[in-house]
Chain A
Amino acid sequence: MASTSPSDGGSRRNAIRVWSVLLWLAVWQIAAMAIGHDILLVSPVTVVRRLVELAVTGSFWNSIGFSLLRIIGGFFLAAGTGLLFAAASYRFRAIEIMLEPPMQTIKATPVASFVILILIWVPSRNLSVVISFLMVLPIMYTNVLAGIRSTDRQLLEMADVFRVPTGRRIRYIYVSQVLPYFRSACSVALGLGWKSGIAAEVIGIPVGSIGEKLYQSKIFLDTPDLFAWTLVIIVVSVCFEKLFLKMLDAAVGKLERM
Chain B
Amino acid sequence: MELNIRGLKKRYGDVTVFDHFDCSLLGCAVNVVFGPSGAGKTTLLRLVMGLARPDAGDLSSLSDLKVGAVFQEDRLCDNLSPVSNVKLVAPSVSREAIQRALSSVGLGSCLDKPARELSGGMRRRVALIRALLSDYDLLLLDEPFKGLDETTKETVITYTRGMTAGRTVLLVTHDRQEALAMDARRIITVKTEGPETG
Chain A residues engaging chain B, CB cutoff 8 angstroms:
154-155, 157-164, 168, 172-173, 176, 256-258
Contact = CB atoms under 8 A, between A and B. Distances in A.
B75 A176 contact: no
Interface of B: 49-51, 66-69, 71, 73, 75, 77-81, 84, 88-89, 91, 112, 134
5 contacts: A154-B75, A157-B75, A163-B66, A168-B88, A172-B77
Contacts, number: 50
Nearest to B46: A157
- Secondary structure call for the A interface: helix
A157 B78 contact: no
A158 B81 contact: no
B73 A154 contact: yes
Nearest to B68: A162
Given A162-B88, A164-B88, A176-B78, 18 more contacts: A154-B73, A154-B75, A155-B77, A157-B71, A158-B71, A159-B88, A160-B50, A160-B51, A161-B51, A162-B68, A162-B69, A163-B66, A172-B84, A172-B88, A173-B77, A176-B77, A176-B79, A257-B81
A159 B77 CA distance: 11
Among B68, B77, B78, B91, max chain A CB count under 10 A is at: B77
Contact of A172 (B50, B51, B71, B80): B80
Contacts of A158: 69, 71, 75, 89
A161 B49 contact: yes
B80 A256 contact: yes
A164 B75 CA distance: 14
Contacts of B73: 154
A154 B71 CA distance: 9
B47 to A, nearest CB: 12
Given A155-B77, A168-B91, A161 B69 contact: yes
A109 to B, nearest CB: 37
